[in-house]
Chains A and B, each alone.
Chain A
Amino acid sequence: MQFFRSHILVCGGTGCTSSDSAKIIEELDKLLVDKKLDKEIKVVQTGCFGLCEQGPIMVVYPEGTMYCKVKVTDVAEFVEEHLIKGRIVTRLLEKSSDVKDGEYAIEKSSFFKKQLRIALRNCGVINPELIDEYIAFDGYKALIKALTEMKPDEIIETIKKSGLRGRGGGGYPTGSKWEFAAKQDNDQKYVCCNADEGDPGAFMDRSVLEGDPHSIIEAMIIAGYAIGANYGFVYVRAEYPIAVKRLQIAIEQAREYGLLGDNILGTGVKFDLEIRLGAGAFVCGEETALMTSIEGKRGEPRVRPPYPAEKGLWQKPTILNNVETLANIPMILLKGPEWFASMGTEKSKGTKVFAIGGKINNTGLVEIPMGTTLREVIYDIGGGIPGGKKFKAAQTGGPSGGCIPASHIDTPIDYESLIELGSMMGSGGLIVMDEDTCMVDIAKFFLEFTVDESCGKCTPCRLGTRRMMEILDKITKGRGKMSDLDELETLARDIKAASLCALGQTAPNPILSTLRYFRDEYEAHIRDHRCPAGSCKSLLSYEVTEDKCIRCGLCAKNCPVNAITGSKKDEIPFVVDQDICIKCGVCYQKCPVDAITK
């Protein structure tokens, strides 16, 4: 075995790949050969570190220095300074970090300190394309334990005792689901993994598949053994090419090692699996729709009961678990259910991964124990709101969820508390909004989404969501009536009651939740024809405040439609012609003295 004095870990997740991390690796490899360091120092492409805002990220071990926003052109300096002369390139350290010398930033900086990475344990640690690295980090050890030391019902009992609940949205106890499927007497059963992560703004499942694909394979084999299934499907979004590729590589390696196939580890246990790609239908994240889609049909939901554990894929007993749920399974078997249940709150055990985005400084992926407060997530880990703006609300649960307003920022996050607040855990997207975000517009945004994605099977969902969106559109354009608010509430109630699947049943949530906490914003749009956040274009007019204006002319120069006239030389005040103005906001952004109001 070859030993290296130093390892350079470069993030190969989608976020960092989008800002050229693959080219950074190429350049590093090339320079290491040039400087004859390639026998001493090894470059490793890993999964996501989580701090996507600062990508591409590169961490050098053993000293643990984390470099951020690295460019290909920085690589030569890094090799010369850090690797050859042993001096840290300070300009590439994370600026806002409390770890000034950059050393062990992953352990010490506030972004990482409050996190507890279980589902993400190997992301940013191992090369996901090498099964040996996974094995070196205790990979497939839980499988060996399960197949050689445990009976199927012992495994199910362990999962039940751990208190693990589904991380994809509903929060159904995983162990009970498995138990239900295990009890079915059938010669053919299936294990499915739901990686059709459709909630816009959530990307933890993708990161697990990209950073630690073997953990999912291991968990699926364990699940198969526990319920008596010998075949599995992973249903992945087609929009995740890197995840699909790494999972494919992992499956092939697992087959080569005898971890998938007819006689796993010589125990006689049989299990294999294949990948099925989604095709851009959000509804396929719903369990029955997902199974219909795997069957090769239009992905429309089916009536439950019968539940999939009884009659799922091709009418055979099937369990469906989300990626993050599965990623927890090997750790529960290795460390015991008591260990897992010791984390979290009374009814929500373990950790949850959140994708934090929107108006927040540290956009990225964080894994926190259940019960952590929203304030800790946003201010301690997320680094607060950019530009000194005020926090207004956080949206969780995507198009099925709702908003948590600033007044509830100290609520400990778990399944129950979010539902009490009128939102839901969902898959873990957490979008932060500041004072410039209009809550009516956000509700409209989510309704546009559900209108697009409603499969059309149930009329209340297909037509009702469209009607709701039309009403919201009217309100954002200043043409709403107060009675529209009652109409929205009636429609919401009917759609919830009369839709077959969760998509329709939860589609009105973004409206109900914003109405609950931000009714005054709706009323301002309707009564005063005013958008308090200054975001709805139809209700805006840009004007120059003469007292403040220094007549620099930047606004007029940058206006794309020449709507602003005035002159410094001739002392003509600058004014915006409202008939020509297209409300693009460029003048507002360009004014150096904030003389433009909206």
Chain B
Amino acid sequence: MNTNANQPTKNDEKNFLVKEVVARHQHSKGALIPVLHEIQERYGYLPVEIQEKVAKEMNISQAEVFGVISFYSHFATKPAGKYRISVCMGTACYVKGAGSVLDKLKEKLHVKVGQTTEDGAFTLEECRCLGCCGLAPVLTVNGKVYGRLTIEDVDTILESYKNDGGIA
């Protein structure tokens, strides 16, 4: 028996998600950004197919949707790696050597800021001030904070995720 017929396809899932989120925000003015926030939160990123559906559901042009997505750095059109490493480049962290930490990560992972390693394990990002300046310089891996970093800590942190058995 073909069980696939009863299961929702990926496309149906996306349709359902977009419809549901848009419906919940339909009475609110200026809802596009909250809608995109929620979809990205649940789907992980905002690929073209989703952008099309959002435009259709909200009765606006796809260009407007893409215009907003490309304007705000928080919105991603590509999926991120399994571990998102985000180095704080706020002033306090920068003065305390965040630049060297970032350089070391670029060198170890062979990626630029915004890129994901080939094996899909790590995405390297920079962010502007997480607000824990007392721990500067700081980076986060999937939200977990590592503070008072030295360049040597970078190896230890990367190793701990590689040895986590987490990388498929």
**A residues engaging B (CB < 8 A)?**
14-15, 18-19, 52-55, 198-203, 206-207, 238-240, 274, 276-282, 293-300, 314, 355, 357-359, 363-364, 395, 398, 429, 431-433, 437, 442, 445, 449, 455, 584-586
CB of B146 to closest CB in A, whole Å: 9
Most chain A CB inside 10 Å of its own CB: which residue of B89, B95, B127: B95
CB of A10 to closest CB in B, whole Å: 16
Chain B 114-155 against A: per-residue CB contact (8 Å), 1 yes, 0 no?
Answer: 000000000000011111111110100000010100011000
Kindly list chain A residues whose C-beta atoms are within 8 Å of the C-beta of B37: 238, 277, 279
Kindly list chain B residues whose C-beta atoms are within 8 Å of the C-beta of A280: 72-75
Any A CB within 8 A of the CB of B112: no
Question: What are 30 A-B interface contacts by the 8 Å CB criterion?
Answer: A15-B131, A18-B138, A18-B145, A19-B135, A19-B147, A55-B134, A200-B128, A201-B129, A239-B127, A239-B130, A276-B33, A279-B37, A279-B75, A281-B72, A296-B29, A298-B71, A299-B72, A357-B91, A357-B92, A357-B95, A358-B136, A359-B96, A363-B92, A363-B133, A429-B91, A433-B95, A442-B95, A445-B94, A584-B104, A586-B151
What are the nearest 8 A-B pairs in CB distance?
A: A52-B134, A357-B92, A279-B72, A200-B90, A296-B30, A280-B74, A203-B131, A18-B145
Contact indicator A52/B133 (Cβ below 8 Å): yes
Closest to B68 in A: A298
Contact indicator B135/A15 (Cβ below 8 Å): yes
Closest to A292 in B: B30
Contact indicator B145/A358 (Cβ below 8 Å): no
CB of A495 to closest CB in B, whole Å: 21
CB of B110 to closest CB in A, whole Å: 15
Any A CB within 8 A of the CB of B79: no
Kindly list chain A residues whose C-beta atoms are within 8 Å of the C-beta of B135: 15, 18-19, 52, 55
Contact indicator B29/A395 (Cβ below 8 Å): no
Any A CB within 8 A of the CB of B39: no
**Which residue in A55, A207, A277 is a CB contact (below 8 Å) of B33?**
A277
Kindly list chain A residues whose C-beta atoms are within 8 Å of the C-beta of B71: 281, 298-300, 455
Most chain B CB inside 10 Å of its own CB: which residue of A201, A277, A293: A201
Distance of A302 Cα from B134 Cα, bound (Å): 36
Kindly list chain B residues whose C-beta atoms are within 8 Å of the C-beta of A445: 91, 94
Kindly list chain B residues whose C-beta atoms are within 8 Å of the C-beta of A398: 91
CB of B140 to closest CB in A, whole Å: 9
Kindly list chain B residues whose C-beta atoms are within 8 Å of the C-beta of A357: 91-92, 95, 133-134, 136
Contact indicator A276/B132 (Cβ below 8 Å): no
Chain B 55-71 against A: per-residue CB contact (8 Å), 1 yes, 0 no?
Answer: 00000000010011001
Most chain A CB inside 10 Å of its own CB: which residue of B30, B32, B37, B127: B30
Kindly list chain A residues whose C-beta atoms are within 8 Å of the C-beta of B131: 14-15, 203, 206-207, 239-240
Any A CB within 8 A of the CB of B31: yes
Any A CB within 8 A of the CB of B160: no
Kindly list chain A residues whose C-beta atoms are within 8 Å of the C-beta of B151: 584, 586
Kindly list chain B residues whose C-beta atoms are within 8 Å of the C-beta of A238: 37, 74
Contact indicator B92/A431 (Cβ below 8 Å): yes
Kindly list chain B residues whose C-beta atoms are within 8 Å of the C-beta of A15: 131-135
Contacts beyond the supplied A278-B72, A297-B68: 9 A-B pairs with Cβ under 8 Å? A19-B147, A52-B133, A199-B129, A200-B128, A239-B129, A282-B128, A295-B30, A357-B134, A358-B95
Known: A296-B31, A296-B33, A363-B136. A198 touches B128 (CB 8 A): yes
Contact indicator A18/B128 (Cβ below 8 Å): no
Kindly list chain A residues whose C-beta atoms are within 8 Å of the C-beta of B29: 295-296, 314
Closest to A314 in B: B29
Known: A53-B134, A299-B71. A203 touches B129 (CB 8 A): yes
Total interface residues on B, using CB and 8 Å? 41
Most chain A CB inside 10 Å of its own CB: which residue of B30, B74, B92, B130: B92
Contact indicator B95/A359 (Cβ below 8 Å): yes
Distance of A364 Cα from B132 Cα, bound (Å): 9
CB of B26 to closest CB in A, whole Å: 13
Kindly list chain A residues whose C-beta atoms are within 8 Å of the C-beta of B96: 358-359
Closest to A445 in B: B94
Kindly list chain A residues whose C-beta atoms are within 8 Å of the C-beta of B145: 18-19
Closest to A207 in B: B131
Contact indicator B75/A201 (Cβ below 8 Å): no
Closest to A204 in B: B131
Contact indicator B91/A201 (Cβ below 8 Å): yes
Distance of A437 Cα from B96 Cα, bound (Å): 9
Kindly list chain A residues whose C-beta atoms are within 8 Å of the C-beta of B134: 15, 52-55, 357, 363-364
Kindly list chain A residues whose C-beta atoms are within 8 Å of the C-beta of B133: 15, 52, 201, 203, 355, 357, 363-364
CB of A480 to closest CB in B, whole Å: 20
Closest to B131 in A: A203
Distance of A358 Cα from B72 Cα, bound (Å): 28
Distance of A431 Cα from B36 Cα, bound (Å): 35
Kindly list chain B residues whose C-beta atoms are within 8 Å of the C-beta of A314: 29
Kindly list chain B residues whose C-beta atoms are within 8 Å of the C-beta of A278: 72, 74
Distance of A158 Cα from B96 Cα, bound (Å): 44
Distance of A60 Cα from B100 Cα, bound (Å): 40
Any A CB within 8 A of the CB of B34: yes
Kindly list chain A residues whose C-beta atoms are within 8 Å of the C-beta of B104: 584
Distance of A298 Cα from B91 Cα, bound (Å): 26
Distance of A298 Cα from B69 Cα, bound (Å): 8
Kindly list chain B residues whose C-beta atoms are within 8 Å of the C-beta of A429: 91
Kindly list chain B residues whose C-beta atoms are within 8 Å of the C-beta of A585: 100
CB of B154 to closest CB in A, whole Å: 11
Contact indicator A358/B32 (Cβ below 8 Å): no
CB of A118 to closest CB in B, whole Å: 21
Distance of A276 Cα from B35 Cα, bound (Å): 11
Closest to A14 in B: B131
CB of B135 to closest CB in A, whole Å: 6
Most chain A CB inside 10 Å of its own CB: which residue of B34, B92, B131: B131
Kindly list chain B residues whose C-beta atoms are within 8 Å of the C-beta of A54: 134
Distance of A395 Cα from B92 Cα, bound (Å): 10
CB of A94 to closest CB in B, whole Å: 13
Known: A358-B92, A358-B96, A395-B91. A200 touches B129 (CB 8 A): yes
Contact indicator A296/B68 (Cβ below 8 Å): yes
Closest to A589 in B: B150
CB of B57 to closest CB in A, whole Å: 14
Kindly list chain B residues whose C-beta atoms are within 8 Å of the C-beta of A299: 71-72
CB of A591 to closest CB in B, whole Å: 15
Closest to B134 in A: A52
Kindly list chain B residues whose C-beta atoms are within 8 Å of the C-beta of A449: 128
B73-122 interface with A by 8 A CB criterion: 73-75, 89-92, 94-96, 100, 104
Closest to A363 in B: B134
Closest to B99 in A: A445
Closest to A442 in B: B95
Kindly list chain B residues whose C-beta atoms are within 8 Å of the C-beta of A433: 95
Distance of A198 Cα from B74 Cα, bound (Å): 14
Kindly list chain A residues whose C-beta atoms are within 8 Å of the C-beta of B67: 298
Distance of A429 Cα from B92 Cα, bound (Å): 9
